[in-house]
Amino acid sequence: MGLREPDSTVRLELLGEELRTHRERAGLSLAGVTELVGISTSKLSRMENGRRPQRIDDLMALLGAYRVPGGRRDELLALARGAAAAPVRPEQVAGRFAALRVLEAKAAMLVDVAPALVPALLQTVPYAQAVMREVYLLDEPKVEDYTAGRIHRQAVLRREEPPRFFAILTEAALSSVVGGQQVMRGQLRYLLEAGARPNVTIRVVSGLEHGHPALDGPFQRMQFDRGRAVVLLESRAAAVYLEDPGEVKHYDRAVVELLSAALDERASAALIEKAIAGLSG
């Protein structure tokens, strides 16, 4: 017997909460929505509770009835497609960033482990462009698309009630000169500025005489209410979301180990300043 696909996932639950919020903002009851779009109240209830299945045409009808603006509608549709699909591929760039923006906007806490590059939520425009060209080897049109997607995501850290954000970098991320020395200096200075915000913590892993979990690669952990969490594994080939609590637990342990091994905030800032001083010109 094959493994049964779970009846609900964190992403489907978050999508259901969004549907309920937009319905209530529109001043509609479940029965009222049934009259408008012809979807039964029992099915609407299942959708709002994040239960499978959720058909895209049903979602489009609901979002239209609730008068959800086009940009937000696209993000929620992308989240729905991602919650039921295989890993998101590079060519699906619009949906890839749209779904991630929804998740980051709903998260209470974000942890980004970045062993080789500055985390996307803290990248400057020139640095992000250089990453796309020099690391991911993207063609110029895709460079602009991916850079725009990353910069748009950063607004979540500047909103009125932003999530708590922990960036765990390694010294290699500070010393790898991406985009040239001028670009790198600007990026490192921006890290110092960002680290001064009350909701942002930057910790650097440096000087260890043993291995550490970041050597296994980058990941982002998103914490939601009621103990729900999602881990994002992102590469040049695809974006994969892990939602099974057992899988997430392995990354929780990695975060604990890295925070224990990393320099504190003051020492991390001093190391960033040293990296800036080491760039000539």
What pTM, to 2 d.p., does this model score? 0.81
Strand order in the sheet with 200-205: 200-205, 164-170, 109-114, 219-223, 229-234, 239-242
pLDDT at 209: 86
Q: Are the C-beta atoms of 146 and 206 separated by less than 8 Å?
A: no
Q: Which of 65, 271, 265 is nearest to 167 (CA)?
A: 265
DSSP 135: I
pLDDT value of residue 7: 54
Helix, strand, coil proportions of the chain in percent (round to 5)? 60, 10, 30
Question: Which tens digit of pLDDT belongs to each residue from 19-58?
Answer: 999 999 999 999 998 998 998 999 999 888 888 767 889 8
For residue 217, the model assigns a pLDDT of 93
Q: E strands within the chain?
A: 109-114, 164-170, 200-205, 219-223, 229-234, 239-242
Start-to-end CA span in the chain (Å):
64
Location of structure tokens 């009350």: 198
Cα distance between residue 216 and residue 176, in whole Å: 18
- The string over 106-145, giving b where at least 16 C-beta atoms fall within 10 Å of a residue's C-beta and e elsewhere, is bbeebbbbbbebbbbbbbbebbbbbbbbeeeebeeebbeb
* Average pLDDT over every residue of 194-217: 94
Which two structure tokens, joined as six digits, stand for 175?
């010393």
pLDDT mean over 189-213: 95
Around Cβ 240, how many Cβ atoms within 10 Å? 14
Q: Are 135 and 183 within 8 A, CB to CB?
A: no
Query: Among 65-74, 126-135, 176-185, 220-229, whose mean pLDDT is lowest?
Result: 65-74
Neighbours of 173 (CB within 10 A): 24
Q: What does the pLDDT look like over 85-105, one tens digit per residue? A: 555 555 455 556 777 888 898
Confidence of residue 4 (pLDDT cuts 50, 70, 90): very low
* Cα–Cα distance, 279 to 234 (Å, whole number): 29
Give the C-alpha separation, 155 to 159, whole Å: 6
- Report the DSSP beta bridge partners of residue 29: none
List the domains of the chain with CATH numbers.
Answer: 10-83 (1.10.260.40), 90-277 (3.30.870)
- Beta-strand pair 109-114/219-223: antiparallel
Cβ neighbourhood burial of 39 (10 Å; 0-12, 13-18, 19+): middle
Distance separating alpha carbons of residues 102 and 93, to the nearest angstrom: 15
How far is Cα 167 from Cα 112, in angstroms, rounded to an integer? 5
